Chains A and B, each alone.
Chain A
Amino acid sequence: MHDVNHAADRNARVSAIPEIVIAGCGAITAVGDGVEALRTAMRTGRSGLRKCERYSDTRFQSSIAGVALQNGEYDDPAYELASRALAEACGQAQAVLTSVAPERIGFVLATTKANIEALERISDERKCSEEGRRHLQGDLLAADLAVEYRAKGPKQCVSNACVSGLIAIQQGARLIQRGEADAVLVAGVDHLSAFVMAGFSSLKALDPVGCRPFDRDRAGLSPGEAGAAIVLTKKIFFQSNHPTIQSPIFLQGWGNSNDANHITGPSRDGSGLAAAIRAALTSAKVKLEEIDYINAHGTGTPFNDAMESAALRTVFGDSCPPVSGSKGMLGHTLGAAGVVETILCVLAIRERWLPGTPGLNVPAELAPGSLMRESRPANRINHVLKMNTGFGGVNGALVLGYE
Protein backbone atom coordinates (compact mmCIF):
# COMPACT_ATOMS: atom_id res chain seq x y z
CA MET A 1 0.00 0.00 0.00
CA HIS A 2 2.85 2.28 0.86
CA ASP A 3 4.45 1.64 -2.55
CA VAL A 4 1.18 2.31 -4.37
CA ASN A 5 0.76 5.64 -2.59
CA HIS A 6 4.35 6.50 -3.24
CA ALA A 7 4.03 5.78 -6.97
CA ALA A 8 0.79 7.74 -7.22
CA ASP A 9 2.35 10.67 -5.41
CA ARG A 10 5.33 10.62 -7.71
CA ASN A 11 3.17 10.38 -10.84
CA ALA A 12 1.14 13.36 -9.66
CA ARG A 13 4.28 15.36 -9.06
CA VAL A 14 5.84 14.40 -12.41
CA SER A 15 2.72 15.31 -14.36
CA ALA A 16 2.69 18.70 -12.65
CA ILE A 17 6.27 19.51 -13.68
CA PRO A 18 6.23 22.21 -16.36
CA GLU A 19 7.79 21.47 -19.73
CA ILE A 20 11.01 23.40 -20.37
CA VAL A 21 11.81 24.94 -23.74
CA ILE A 22 14.82 26.76 -25.19
CA ALA A 23 13.82 30.34 -25.98
CA GLY A 24 17.15 31.76 -27.14
CA CYS A 25 20.79 30.89 -27.80
CA GLY A 26 24.04 32.83 -28.07
CA ALA A 27 27.58 31.70 -28.84
CA ILE A 28 31.02 33.25 -29.25
CA THR A 29 33.33 30.51 -30.47
CA ALA A 30 36.42 29.77 -32.53
CA VAL A 31 34.28 29.73 -35.68
CA GLY A 32 33.05 33.29 -35.12
CA ASP A 33 30.72 35.53 -33.20
CA GLY A 34 27.11 34.47 -33.03
CA VAL A 35 24.96 31.39 -33.53
CA GLU A 36 24.83 32.05 -37.27
CA ALA A 37 28.62 31.49 -37.49
CA LEU A 38 28.16 28.23 -35.61
CA ARG A 39 25.33 27.20 -37.94
CA THR A 40 27.44 27.87 -41.03
CA ALA A 41 30.41 25.95 -39.61
CA MET A 42 28.15 23.05 -38.67
CA ARG A 43 26.86 22.78 -42.24
CA THR A 44 30.23 23.21 -43.94
CA GLY A 45 32.35 21.33 -41.42
CA ARG A 46 34.76 24.23 -41.13
CA SER A 47 37.17 24.01 -38.21
CA GLY A 48 38.07 27.02 -36.09
CA LEU A 49 41.24 25.39 -34.74
CA ARG A 50 44.52 27.07 -35.67
CA LYS A 51 48.03 27.72 -34.44
CA CYS A 52 47.93 30.29 -31.71
CA GLU A 53 50.95 32.58 -31.44
CA ARG A 54 50.37 33.14 -27.74
CA TYR A 55 51.17 29.49 -27.05
CA SER A 56 53.86 28.85 -29.64
CA ASP A 57 56.80 28.49 -27.23
CA THR A 58 58.27 25.15 -26.28
CA ARG A 59 56.57 25.05 -22.87
CA PHE A 60 53.45 23.74 -24.54
CA GLN A 61 53.00 20.42 -26.28
CA SER A 62 50.96 22.10 -29.02
CA SER A 63 49.94 25.64 -29.95
CA ILE A 64 46.79 24.57 -31.79
CA ALA A 65 43.68 25.93 -30.13
CA GLY A 66 40.21 27.32 -30.74
CA VAL A 67 40.49 31.09 -30.29
CA ALA A 68 37.23 33.00 -29.93
CA LEU A 69 38.49 36.45 -28.86
CA GLN A 70 40.35 37.17 -32.07
CA ASN A 71 41.44 40.75 -31.54
CA GLY A 72 42.64 42.82 -28.64
CA GLU A 73 43.93 42.02 -25.20
CA TYR A 74 41.50 41.40 -22.38
CA ASP A 75 42.15 41.32 -18.66
CA ASP A 76 38.65 39.91 -18.09
CA PRO A 77 38.12 37.57 -21.06
CA ALA A 78 35.65 35.37 -19.16
CA TYR A 79 33.26 38.28 -18.68
CA GLU A 80 33.73 39.41 -22.28
CA LEU A 81 32.89 36.00 -23.74
CA ALA A 82 29.95 35.29 -21.44
CA SER A 83 28.49 38.77 -21.78
CA ARG A 84 28.56 38.73 -25.59
CA ALA A 85 26.91 35.29 -25.68
CA LEU A 86 24.25 36.40 -23.21
CA ALA A 87 23.51 39.51 -25.27
CA GLU A 88 22.71 37.34 -28.27
CA ALA A 89 20.66 34.77 -26.33
CA CYS A 90 18.66 37.43 -24.48
CA GLY A 91 18.06 39.22 -27.77
CA GLN A 92 16.58 36.05 -29.27
CA ALA A 93 14.44 35.53 -26.18
CA GLN A 94 13.49 39.18 -25.78
CA ALA A 95 9.75 38.57 -26.11
CA VAL A 96 9.85 36.04 -23.28
CA LEU A 97 12.23 37.95 -21.03
CA THR A 98 10.36 41.26 -21.22
CA SER A 99 7.20 39.48 -20.10
CA VAL A 100 8.90 38.03 -16.98
CA ALA A 101 9.62 40.09 -13.86
CA PRO A 102 13.40 40.36 -13.22
CA GLU A 103 12.87 38.72 -9.83
CA ARG A 104 11.58 35.64 -11.67
CA ILE A 105 14.61 35.36 -13.98
CA GLY A 106 17.26 33.01 -12.65
CA PHE A 107 20.89 32.78 -13.64
CA VAL A 108 23.20 29.73 -13.76
CA LEU A 109 26.83 30.02 -14.80
CA ALA A 110 28.99 27.05 -15.82
CA THR A 111 32.72 27.54 -15.64
CA THR A 112 35.79 25.59 -14.62
CA LYS A 113 38.32 28.41 -14.31
CA ALA A 114 36.28 31.65 -14.43
CA ASN A 115 38.67 34.56 -15.12
CA ILE A 116 41.93 32.67 -14.55
CA GLU A 117 43.62 35.37 -16.64
CA ALA A 118 43.63 37.48 -13.48
CA LEU A 119 45.74 34.92 -11.61
CA GLU A 120 48.29 34.89 -14.41
CA ARG A 121 48.44 38.70 -14.34
CA ILE A 122 48.68 38.94 -10.56
CA SER A 123 51.39 36.25 -10.49
CA ASP A 124 53.46 38.10 -13.10
CA GLU A 125 52.76 41.50 -11.50
CA ARG A 126 50.98 42.68 -14.64
CA LYS A 127 48.11 45.14 -14.60
CA CYS A 128 44.70 43.67 -13.75
CA SER A 129 41.46 45.56 -13.25
CA GLU A 130 39.41 45.19 -10.08
CA GLU A 131 36.66 43.53 -12.12
CA GLY A 132 39.10 41.07 -13.65
CA ARG A 133 40.41 40.18 -10.21
CA ARG A 134 36.88 39.86 -8.81
CA HIS A 135 35.91 37.49 -11.61
CA LEU A 136 38.52 34.97 -10.52
CA GLN A 137 35.64 33.81 -8.33
CA GLY A 138 33.02 32.12 -10.46
CA ASP A 139 30.15 33.09 -8.17
CA LEU A 140 31.04 36.79 -8.43
CA LEU A 141 31.37 36.50 -12.20
CA ALA A 142 27.88 34.99 -12.21
CA ALA A 143 26.53 37.72 -9.94
CA ASP A 144 27.86 40.53 -12.16
CA LEU A 145 26.59 38.92 -15.36
CA ALA A 146 23.19 38.44 -13.74
CA VAL A 147 23.04 42.15 -12.88
CA GLU A 148 23.94 43.12 -16.45
CA TYR A 149 21.18 40.93 -17.86
CA ARG A 150 18.59 41.89 -15.20
CA ALA A 151 18.30 38.40 -13.75
CA LYS A 152 17.33 39.11 -10.14
CA GLY A 153 16.09 35.61 -9.34
CA PRO A 154 18.15 32.72 -7.93
CA LYS A 155 21.81 32.56 -9.00
CA GLN A 156 24.16 29.59 -9.11
CA CYS A 157 27.70 28.93 -10.27
CA VAL A 158 28.23 25.31 -11.28
CA SER A 159 31.75 23.90 -11.57
CA ASN A 160 31.65 20.18 -12.39
CA ALA A 161 34.71 19.98 -14.67
CA CYS A 162 33.86 19.51 -18.35
CA VAL A 163 30.27 18.52 -17.56
CA SER A 164 29.60 21.93 -15.96
CA GLY A 165 27.65 23.17 -18.98
CA LEU A 166 25.24 20.22 -19.09
CA ILE A 167 24.73 20.32 -15.33
CA ALA A 168 24.10 24.09 -15.47
CA ILE A 169 21.35 23.47 -18.03
CA GLN A 170 19.87 20.82 -15.72
CA GLN A 171 20.02 23.28 -12.84
CA GLY A 172 18.29 25.97 -14.90
CA ALA A 173 15.46 23.53 -15.65
CA ARG A 174 15.22 22.52 -11.99
CA LEU A 175 14.85 26.17 -10.90
CA ILE A 176 11.90 26.57 -13.25
CA GLN A 177 10.34 23.22 -12.40
CA ARG A 178 10.56 23.96 -8.67
CA GLY A 179 8.78 27.26 -9.26
CA GLU A 180 11.75 29.40 -8.21
CA ALA A 181 11.97 31.10 -11.62
CA ASP A 182 9.92 31.54 -14.78
CA ALA A 183 12.96 31.91 -17.04
CA VAL A 184 16.63 31.11 -16.48
CA LEU A 185 19.70 32.40 -18.29
CA VAL A 186 22.28 29.60 -18.50
CA ALA A 187 25.76 30.69 -19.52
CA GLY A 188 28.90 28.64 -20.01
CA VAL A 189 32.33 30.18 -20.26
CA ASP A 190 36.02 29.36 -20.17
CA HIS A 191 38.80 31.29 -21.86
CA LEU A 192 42.13 30.13 -23.29
CA SER A 193 44.97 30.54 -20.85
CA ALA A 194 48.58 29.56 -20.34
CA PHE A 195 47.33 28.05 -17.07
CA VAL A 196 45.19 25.45 -18.87
CA MET A 197 47.58 24.95 -21.82
CA ALA A 198 50.41 24.19 -19.38
CA GLY A 199 48.22 21.79 -17.43
CA PHE A 200 47.17 19.70 -20.41
CA SER A 201 50.76 19.86 -21.72
CA SER A 202 52.00 18.46 -18.40
CA LEU A 203 49.55 15.58 -18.79
CA LYS A 204 50.74 15.09 -22.40
CA ALA A 205 47.12 15.43 -23.41
CA LEU A 206 47.41 17.83 -26.39
CA ASP A 207 47.38 16.55 -29.97
CA PRO A 208 50.29 18.25 -31.80
CA VAL A 209 48.33 18.38 -35.08
CA GLY A 210 44.96 19.36 -33.61
CA CYS A 211 42.32 17.14 -32.08
CA ARG A 212 40.91 14.25 -34.10
CA PRO A 213 37.86 12.89 -32.27
CA PHE A 214 37.34 9.13 -32.64
CA ASP A 215 40.17 8.91 -35.17
CA ARG A 216 42.43 5.86 -35.33
CA ASP A 217 45.48 8.13 -34.85
CA ARG A 218 44.00 10.55 -32.32
CA ALA A 219 46.57 11.79 -29.83
CA GLY A 220 44.86 14.28 -27.55
CA LEU A 221 42.67 17.33 -27.28
CA SER A 222 42.91 20.94 -28.49
CA PRO A 223 41.86 23.56 -25.94
CA GLY A 224 39.29 26.12 -26.99
CA GLU A 225 37.53 29.12 -25.54
CA ALA A 226 33.88 30.04 -25.79
CA GLY A 227 31.05 31.96 -24.27
CA ALA A 228 27.69 30.29 -24.79
CA ALA A 229 24.25 31.05 -23.43
CA ILE A 230 20.78 29.51 -23.49
CA VAL A 231 17.53 30.98 -22.22
CA LEU A 232 15.20 28.41 -20.68
CA THR A 233 11.57 29.00 -19.92
CA LYS A 234 8.25 27.21 -19.50
CA LYS A 235 6.53 26.05 -22.65
CA ILE A 236 3.48 28.11 -21.78
CA PHE A 237 5.49 31.36 -21.61
CA PHE A 238 7.26 30.63 -24.85
CA GLN A 239 4.11 29.88 -26.79
CA SER A 240 2.23 32.92 -25.50
CA ASN A 241 5.12 35.13 -26.57
CA HIS A 242 5.96 33.38 -29.84
CA PRO A 243 2.51 32.50 -31.22
CA THR A 244 3.90 31.95 -34.72
CA ILE A 245 6.42 29.30 -33.61
CA GLN A 246 4.41 26.13 -33.22
CA SER A 247 7.07 23.71 -32.10
CA PRO A 248 9.74 24.86 -29.70
CA ILE A 249 12.71 22.67 -28.76
CA PHE A 250 12.23 20.97 -25.40
CA LEU A 251 14.70 20.04 -22.74
CA GLN A 252 13.24 16.60 -22.12
CA GLY A 253 15.48 14.85 -19.65
CA TRP A 254 18.89 14.47 -18.11
CA GLY A 255 21.10 12.21 -16.08
CA ASN A 256 24.49 12.38 -14.48
CA SER A 257 26.80 9.95 -12.74
CA ASN A 258 30.33 9.33 -11.53
CA ASP A 259 32.74 6.59 -12.67
CA ALA A 260 34.31 6.31 -9.19
CA ASN A 261 37.38 5.12 -11.00
CA HIS A 262 40.19 7.67 -11.56
CA ILE A 263 40.69 11.38 -10.91
CA THR A 264 41.81 12.32 -14.46
CA GLY A 265 41.09 9.23 -16.55
CA PRO A 266 37.71 7.87 -17.64
CA SER A 267 36.59 4.35 -16.81
CA ARG A 268 37.63 1.78 -19.41
CA ASP A 269 34.22 0.18 -19.79
CA GLY A 270 32.05 3.30 -20.10
CA SER A 271 29.64 2.03 -17.45
CA GLY A 272 29.36 5.42 -15.72
CA LEU A 273 28.51 7.28 -18.91
CA ALA A 274 26.13 4.47 -19.92
CA ALA A 275 24.30 4.97 -16.59
CA ALA A 276 24.01 8.73 -17.23
CA ILE A 277 22.64 8.11 -20.73
CA ARG A 278 20.07 5.63 -19.44
CA ALA A 279 19.00 8.02 -16.70
CA ALA A 280 18.56 10.80 -19.27
CA LEU A 281 16.51 8.59 -21.60
CA THR A 282 14.34 7.40 -18.72
CA SER A 283 13.67 10.90 -17.41
CA ALA A 284 12.90 12.08 -20.97
CA LYS A 285 10.59 9.08 -21.52
CA VAL A 286 12.33 8.59 -24.86
CA LYS A 287 13.09 5.13 -26.25
CA LEU A 288 16.48 4.16 -27.66
CA GLU A 289 15.13 3.95 -31.19
CA GLU A 290 13.68 7.46 -30.96
CA ILE A 291 17.11 9.09 -30.68
CA ASP A 292 18.00 10.50 -34.11
CA TYR A 293 21.41 12.00 -33.37
CA ILE A 294 24.10 11.85 -30.67
CA ASN A 295 26.55 14.68 -30.05
CA ALA A 296 29.46 13.03 -28.24
CA HIS A 297 31.99 14.55 -25.87
CA GLY A 298 34.74 13.46 -28.31
CA THR A 299 37.83 15.12 -26.85
CA GLY A 300 40.22 13.22 -29.15
CA THR A 301 42.13 11.67 -26.26
CA PRO A 302 42.65 7.92 -26.71
CA PHE A 303 40.97 6.94 -23.43
CA ASN A 304 37.97 9.29 -23.59
CA ASP A 305 36.88 8.34 -27.08
CA ALA A 306 37.35 4.62 -26.40
CA MET A 307 35.28 4.94 -23.23
CA GLU A 308 32.49 6.83 -25.04
CA SER A 309 32.44 4.23 -27.81
CA ALA A 310 32.10 1.51 -25.17
CA ALA A 311 29.28 3.38 -23.43
CA LEU A 312 27.36 3.80 -26.68
CA ARG A 313 27.84 0.11 -27.48
CA THR A 314 26.54 -0.79 -24.01
CA VAL A 315 23.41 1.32 -24.39
CA PHE A 316 22.60 1.10 -28.09
CA GLY A 317 24.24 -2.21 -29.08
CA ASP A 318 24.61 -2.47 -32.84
CA SER A 319 21.86 0.08 -33.49
CA CYS A 320 23.61 3.29 -32.56
CA PRO A 321 22.10 6.41 -34.14
CA PRO A 322 24.34 8.83 -36.09
CA VAL A 323 27.13 10.16 -33.83
CA SER A 324 29.54 13.04 -34.23
CA GLY A 325 31.82 15.22 -32.14
CA SER A 326 32.40 18.96 -32.38
CA LYS A 327 35.72 19.57 -30.63
CA GLY A 328 37.66 19.37 -33.90
CA MET A 329 35.67 22.47 -34.87
CA LEU A 330 35.61 24.44 -31.61
CA GLY A 331 38.31 22.94 -29.41
CA HIS A 332 37.58 21.70 -25.92
CA THR A 333 35.86 24.65 -24.30
CA LEU A 334 35.73 23.03 -20.83
CA GLY A 335 32.98 24.62 -18.74
CA ALA A 336 31.34 26.09 -21.84
CA ALA A 337 31.39 22.80 -23.77
CA GLY A 338 28.04 21.50 -22.58
CA VAL A 339 26.26 24.74 -23.41
CA VAL A 340 27.84 25.42 -26.80
CA GLU A 341 27.45 21.79 -27.91
CA THR A 342 23.82 21.81 -26.80
CA ILE A 343 23.34 24.86 -29.03
CA LEU A 344 24.81 22.81 -31.89
CA CYS A 345 22.19 20.16 -31.14
CA VAL A 346 19.46 22.83 -31.24
CA LEU A 347 20.75 23.91 -34.66
CA ALA A 348 20.85 20.29 -35.84
CA ILE A 349 17.18 19.86 -34.88
CA ARG A 350 16.05 23.16 -36.39
CA GLU A 351 18.00 22.69 -39.62
CA ARG A 352 17.44 18.94 -39.90
CA TRP A 353 21.17 18.71 -40.42
CA LEU A 354 23.50 16.13 -38.92
CA PRO A 355 26.82 17.75 -37.94
CA GLY A 356 30.04 16.01 -38.95
CA THR A 357 33.24 15.40 -36.99
CA PRO A 358 35.94 17.87 -38.09
CA GLY A 359 39.41 16.36 -37.61
CA LEU A 360 38.22 12.78 -38.09
CA ASN A 361 39.95 10.96 -40.93
CA VAL A 362 39.99 7.18 -40.35
CA PRO A 363 37.63 6.04 -37.56
CA ALA A 364 39.16 4.03 -34.73
CA GLU A 365 38.47 0.29 -34.83
CA LEU A 366 35.93 0.28 -32.01
CA ALA A 367 34.33 3.65 -32.81
CA PRO A 368 30.58 3.54 -33.46
CA GLY A 369 29.77 2.39 -37.00
CA SER A 370 27.34 5.31 -37.25
CA LEU A 371 30.10 7.88 -36.68
CA MET A 372 29.77 10.72 -39.18
CA ARG A 373 32.85 12.32 -40.69
CA GLU A 374 30.97 14.76 -42.91
CA SER A 375 27.85 16.74 -42.09
CA ARG A 376 24.72 15.94 -44.05
CA PRO A 377 21.00 16.72 -44.20
CA ALA A 378 18.55 14.45 -42.40
CA ASN A 379 14.89 13.70 -43.01
CA ARG A 380 14.08 13.84 -39.34
CA ILE A 381 15.81 14.92 -36.13
CA ASN A 382 13.22 14.83 -33.37
CA HIS A 383 15.28 13.65 -30.41
CA VAL A 384 18.95 14.33 -29.72
CA LEU A 385 21.25 12.97 -27.03
CA LYS A 386 24.08 15.21 -25.85
CA MET A 387 26.78 13.88 -23.53
CA ASN A 388 29.91 15.12 -21.77
CA THR A 389 32.42 13.60 -19.37
CA GLY A 390 35.06 15.19 -17.15
CA PHE A 391 37.91 14.96 -14.65
CA GLY A 392 36.86 13.50 -11.34
CA GLY A 393 34.87 10.82 -13.19
CA VAL A 394 31.76 12.92 -13.76
CA ASN A 395 29.42 12.10 -16.67
CA GLY A 396 26.37 13.96 -17.97
CA ALA A 397 23.70 13.38 -20.60
CA LEU A 398 20.84 15.51 -21.88
CA VAL A 399 17.93 14.74 -24.19
CA LEU A 400 16.48 17.48 -26.39
CA GLY A 401 13.26 17.01 -28.32
CA TYR A 402 11.13 18.58 -31.00
CA GLU A 403 7.47 17.73 -31.34
Chain B
Amino acid sequence: MNEVLVTATSAATQADLPNAKMGSRFGRMDLLSQLALLSVESLGVNFESMDRTRIAICMAVTAGSLPTDIEYWKGRREPGGPSPTLFAYTLPSSAIGEIAIRYRLTGPNLCFVGSRANLLNEARDLIDREEADACICIECDVVTAAIATITGLPTKAQARAAFLMRGTNGFLLKENHRDIESVCALVSAAEAARNSSR
Protein backbone atom coordinates (compact mmCIF):
# COMPACT_ATOMS: atom_id res chain seq x y z
CA MET B 1 0.00 0.00 0.00
CA ASN B 2 1.26 3.49 -0.81
CA GLU B 3 2.48 5.53 2.15
CA VAL B 4 1.08 8.89 3.19
CA LEU B 5 3.38 11.54 1.73
CA VAL B 6 3.78 15.27 2.00
CA THR B 7 3.66 16.34 -1.64
CA ALA B 8 3.74 20.12 -1.19
CA THR B 9 4.50 22.67 1.50
CA SER B 10 4.17 26.44 1.64
CA ALA B 11 4.22 29.47 3.90
CA ALA B 12 2.57 32.89 3.90
CA THR B 13 3.18 35.97 6.00
CA GLN B 14 1.49 39.32 6.31
CA ALA B 15 4.12 40.79 3.97
CA ASP B 16 2.80 38.54 1.18
CA LEU B 17 -0.76 39.82 1.39
CA PRO B 18 -0.49 43.08 -0.61
CA ASN B 19 0.78 41.18 -3.65
CA ALA B 20 -1.74 38.36 -3.41
CA LYS B 21 -4.01 38.11 -6.44
CA MET B 22 -6.92 36.34 -4.85
CA GLY B 23 -9.96 38.30 -6.04
CA SER B 24 -12.22 40.88 -4.42
CA ARG B 25 -13.68 38.54 -1.80
CA PHE B 26 -10.21 38.07 -0.32
CA GLY B 27 -10.09 41.69 0.84
CA ARG B 28 -13.21 41.25 2.95
CA MET B 29 -11.80 38.34 4.93
CA ASP B 30 -10.13 38.54 8.33
CA LEU B 31 -6.36 38.19 8.61
CA LEU B 32 -6.51 34.57 9.72
CA SER B 33 -8.57 33.54 6.69
CA GLN B 34 -6.38 35.55 4.32
CA LEU B 35 -3.16 33.95 5.57
CA ALA B 36 -4.64 30.45 5.62
CA LEU B 37 -6.06 30.83 2.12
CA LEU B 38 -2.88 32.31 0.69
CA SER B 39 -0.80 29.48 2.17
CA VAL B 40 -3.10 26.95 0.47
CA GLU B 41 -2.94 28.82 -2.85
CA SER B 42 0.88 28.79 -2.53
CA LEU B 43 0.87 25.00 -2.33
CA GLY B 44 0.31 25.04 -6.09
CA VAL B 45 -1.85 21.92 -5.97
CA ASN B 46 -4.29 21.39 -8.83
CA PHE B 47 -7.34 20.42 -6.80
CA GLU B 48 -9.54 20.37 -9.89
CA SER B 49 -7.75 17.26 -11.13
CA MET B 50 -8.75 15.37 -7.97
CA ASP B 51 -11.98 14.10 -6.44
CA ARG B 52 -12.80 17.18 -4.38
CA THR B 53 -15.34 15.32 -2.26
CA ARG B 54 -12.39 13.32 -0.89
CA ILE B 55 -10.08 16.17 0.13
CA ALA B 56 -10.11 17.01 3.84
CA ILE B 57 -9.01 20.27 5.46
CA CYS B 58 -7.34 20.24 8.91
CA MET B 59 -6.18 23.39 10.63
CA ALA B 60 -4.58 24.39 13.93
CA VAL B 61 -4.85 27.99 15.08
CA THR B 62 -2.72 29.41 17.87
CA ALA B 63 -5.13 31.85 19.49
CA GLY B 64 -8.39 30.87 17.84
CA SER B 65 -10.22 33.84 16.35
CA LEU B 66 -9.30 36.25 19.20
CA PRO B 67 -7.78 38.94 16.95
CA THR B 68 -11.01 39.12 14.94
CA ASP B 69 -13.09 38.87 18.12
CA ILE B 70 -11.47 42.06 19.38
CA GLU B 71 -12.04 43.92 16.11
CA TYR B 72 -15.66 42.77 15.98
CA TRP B 73 -16.32 43.74 19.60
CA LYS B 74 -14.95 47.24 19.08
CA GLY B 75 -18.12 47.84 17.04
CA ARG B 76 -20.45 47.19 19.99
CA ARG B 77 -21.01 50.91 20.57
CA GLU B 78 -21.62 51.73 16.91
CA PRO B 79 -25.21 52.77 16.11
CA GLY B 80 -25.86 49.56 14.14
CA GLY B 81 -23.93 47.36 16.57
CA PRO B 82 -20.96 45.21 15.61
CA SER B 83 -20.41 44.17 12.00
CA PRO B 84 -22.29 41.08 10.80
CA THR B 85 -19.50 40.46 8.30
CA LEU B 86 -16.88 40.34 11.05
CA PHE B 87 -19.17 38.16 13.21
CA ALA B 88 -18.87 35.44 10.59
CA TYR B 89 -15.10 35.43 11.17
CA THR B 90 -15.31 35.16 14.97
CA LEU B 91 -15.02 31.41 14.46
CA PRO B 92 -11.53 30.07 13.70
CA SER B 93 -13.03 27.48 11.37
CA SER B 94 -14.28 30.25 9.06
CA ALA B 95 -10.89 30.07 7.38
CA ILE B 96 -11.60 26.43 6.52
CA GLY B 97 -14.94 27.52 5.08
CA GLU B 98 -13.20 30.07 2.85
CA ILE B 99 -10.74 27.46 1.59
CA ALA B 100 -13.58 24.99 0.93
CA ILE B 101 -15.56 27.62 -1.00
CA ARG B 102 -12.62 28.78 -3.15
CA TYR B 103 -11.53 25.31 -4.24
CA ARG B 104 -14.95 23.60 -3.97
CA LEU B 105 -13.64 21.06 -1.47
CA THR B 106 -16.41 19.12 0.27
CA GLY B 107 -14.44 16.57 2.30
CA PRO B 108 -14.19 16.37 6.12
CA ASN B 109 -12.97 19.32 8.25
CA LEU B 110 -11.08 19.53 11.54
CA CYS B 111 -10.15 22.73 13.36
CA PHE B 112 -8.03 22.77 16.53
CA VAL B 113 -7.29 25.69 18.79
CA GLY B 114 -3.85 25.77 20.37
CA SER B 115 -1.44 22.89 20.03
CA ARG B 116 -0.47 21.94 16.51
CA ALA B 117 1.24 18.77 17.69
CA ASN B 118 -1.62 16.51 16.63
CA LEU B 119 -2.40 18.15 13.28
CA LEU B 120 -0.41 15.93 10.89
CA ASN B 121 -1.25 12.85 12.91
CA GLU B 122 -4.97 13.57 12.59
CA ALA B 123 -4.63 14.28 8.88
CA ARG B 124 -2.83 10.99 8.31
CA ASP B 125 -5.53 9.21 10.34
CA LEU B 126 -8.25 10.59 8.05
CA ILE B 127 -6.38 9.17 5.06
CA ASP B 128 -5.57 5.88 6.78
CA ARG B 129 -9.24 5.37 7.65
CA GLU B 130 -10.17 6.25 4.07
CA GLU B 131 -12.38 9.09 5.24
CA ALA B 132 -10.39 11.19 2.77
CA ASP B 133 -7.91 10.56 -0.07
CA ALA B 134 -5.87 13.68 0.66
CA CYS B 135 -5.69 16.40 3.25
CA ILE B 136 -4.71 20.06 3.32
CA CYS B 137 -3.07 20.89 6.67
CA ILE B 138 -2.65 24.47 7.83
CA GLU B 139 -0.96 25.94 10.89
CA CYS B 140 -2.02 29.53 11.32
CA ASP B 141 -0.59 31.93 13.91
CA VAL B 142 -2.28 35.29 14.18
CA VAL B 143 -1.34 37.02 17.41
CA THR B 144 -1.80 40.77 17.21
CA ALA B 145 -0.34 43.22 19.73
CA ALA B 146 -3.73 43.41 21.48
CA ILE B 147 -3.86 39.61 21.80
CA ALA B 148 -0.26 39.49 22.96
CA THR B 149 -1.18 41.88 25.78
CA ILE B 150 -4.07 39.69 26.91
CA THR B 151 -2.51 36.26 26.42
CA GLY B 152 1.22 36.79 26.77
CA LEU B 153 1.78 35.04 23.41
CA PRO B 154 4.43 36.52 21.08
CA THR B 155 3.06 38.59 18.19
CA LYS B 156 2.92 36.69 14.90
CA ALA B 157 1.06 36.65 11.59
CA GLN B 158 1.93 33.65 9.46
CA ALA B 159 0.53 30.45 8.04
CA ARG B 160 2.14 27.24 6.86
CA ALA B 161 0.43 24.60 4.77
CA ALA B 162 1.18 21.05 3.70
CA PHE B 163 -0.62 18.73 1.32
CA LEU B 164 -0.82 15.07 2.29
CA MET B 165 -1.83 12.20 0.06
CA ARG B 166 -0.97 8.60 -0.71
CA GLY B 167 1.61 8.18 -3.40
CA THR B 168 5.18 7.38 -4.26
CA ASN B 169 6.59 10.83 -4.98
CA GLY B 170 6.97 13.06 -1.94
CA PHE B 171 8.30 13.30 1.58
CA LEU B 172 7.42 10.27 3.70
CA LEU B 173 5.38 11.30 6.73
CA LYS B 174 6.46 9.43 9.86
CA GLU B 175 4.99 9.12 13.34
CA ASN B 176 7.39 11.65 14.84
CA HIS B 177 6.60 14.32 12.25
CA ARG B 178 4.03 16.26 14.21
CA ASP B 179 4.05 19.82 12.86
CA ILE B 180 4.37 21.42 9.45
CA GLU B 181 7.22 23.73 10.41
CA SER B 182 9.52 20.82 11.25
CA VAL B 183 8.42 18.90 8.15
CA CYS B 184 9.17 21.98 5.99
CA ALA B 185 12.66 22.13 7.50
CA LEU B 186 13.22 18.43 6.79
CA VAL B 187 11.92 18.78 3.21
CA SER B 188 14.28 21.73 2.63
CA ALA B 189 17.23 19.81 4.08
CA ALA B 190 16.45 16.77 1.90
CA GLU B 191 16.21 18.95 -1.22
CA ALA B 192 19.49 20.69 -0.37
CA ALA B 193 21.22 17.33 0.08
CA ARG B 194 19.81 16.08 -3.22
CA ASN B 195 20.94 19.21 -5.07
CA SER B 196 24.46 19.10 -3.60
CA SER B 197 24.90 15.47 -4.68
CA ARG B 198 24.07 16.29 -8.33
Contact = CB atoms under 8 A, between A and B. Distances in A.
B94 A392 contact: yes
B63 interface: yes
Interface string B142-153: 000000001100
A240 interface: no
A161 B65 CA distance: 11
B174 interface: no
B1 to A, nearest CB: 6
B123 to A, nearest CB: 12
A279 B107 CA distance: 11
A140 B150 CA distance: 13
A137 B74 CA distance: 19
Contacts of A159: 61, 64, 91-93, 111-113
B87 A199 contact: yes
Chain B CB within 10 Å, residue with most, of A139, A155, A198, A263: A263
Interface residues of B, number: 52
Contacts of A255: 108, 131
A198 B76 contact: yes
A304 interface: no
A326 interface: no
Contact of B81 (A116, A202, A394): A202
A136 B151 contact: yes
Given A122-B150, A137-B63, A202 B82 contact: yes
Nearest to B69: A119
B71 to A, nearest CB: 11
A259 B100 CA distance: 8
Given A200-B87, A203-B87, 9 more contacts: A13-B128, A123-B73, A123-B76, A137-B113, A160-B96, A194-B76, A391-B97, A392-B97, A393-B100
Interface of A: 5-6, 9-10, 13, 59, 112-114, 116, 119-120, 122-123, 133, 136-140, 142, 154-161, 167, 171, 174, 178, 194-195, 198-203, 255-264, 272, 275, 279, 283, 390-394
11 contacts: A10-B130, A13-B128, A133-B150, A137-B151, A139-B112, A161-B93, A195-B90, A201-B81, A202-B80, A258-B57, A390-B93
